[in-house]
Structure 1
Amino acid sequence: MPNMFEIMAEARMREAVAKGDLKDLPGQGKPLNLDDENPFIPADKRMVFHILKNAGMVPEEVAIRQEVEKLKKQLEAATDEAQKKELRKKLEQESIRHSILMERFYK
């Protein structure tokens, strides 16, 4: 449920659009490029992350999350009960690993 600030911000944006205040802005109609200027990455770490990304490397928490999603899809497609049991076990283990890693990251 949106809070009061979000409701007010949304209303002001609608007013600006209705008045035409947001027309002809620089970059209008073009996708945002957040690769090099991601505001969530500290400035001193951007180059390192850029190099790792170009090398095809991802942070451990991303790799684990990708594995979790892959296991979920495999579990949905599985028909054999023994295979489903094994996939559930792996899925639970990877989910726990991801939770522990994220808990450490956000402490």
Structure 2
Amino acid sequence: MYRAVFGMRLFNGPSAGISAGLRRFGSSRVLANAEMDRAREVVEKLRSNAKIVAQLHQVKLAMGDKAPAPGSSLMAQMAILSDPKVREELTTLAAVVRGEGIELTPQDAQALMKLFNE
């Protein structure tokens, strides 16, 4: 028999199986906090750079009212990215970010996505 507490299965018995679950839960939580800290650090770098902020504004203008509603499908989101004007502005944004010496890793991108989906 087991019972679920906070999304974890707690088995009844002498070992109770709790310690392994808590270790696993605790370590993933620390990792998640480290990812969030990194994402916030990247956001602060982007916000503090006037050229990047200006280009982000251009991306926003290009997207206009095309932005999908929250929770929309991946296909709807990809359709916006295929728009030539949006793609051009995003390419320019990437060049500006590189030109300003800010390197974004795939892990940074994942952390940013998690941050914005909180």
TM-score by length of 2: 0.31
Higher strand share: 2
Higher RCO (CA 8 Å, separation ≥ 6 residues)? 2
TM-score by length of 1: 0.34
Of structures 1 and 2, the larger Rg is shown by: 1
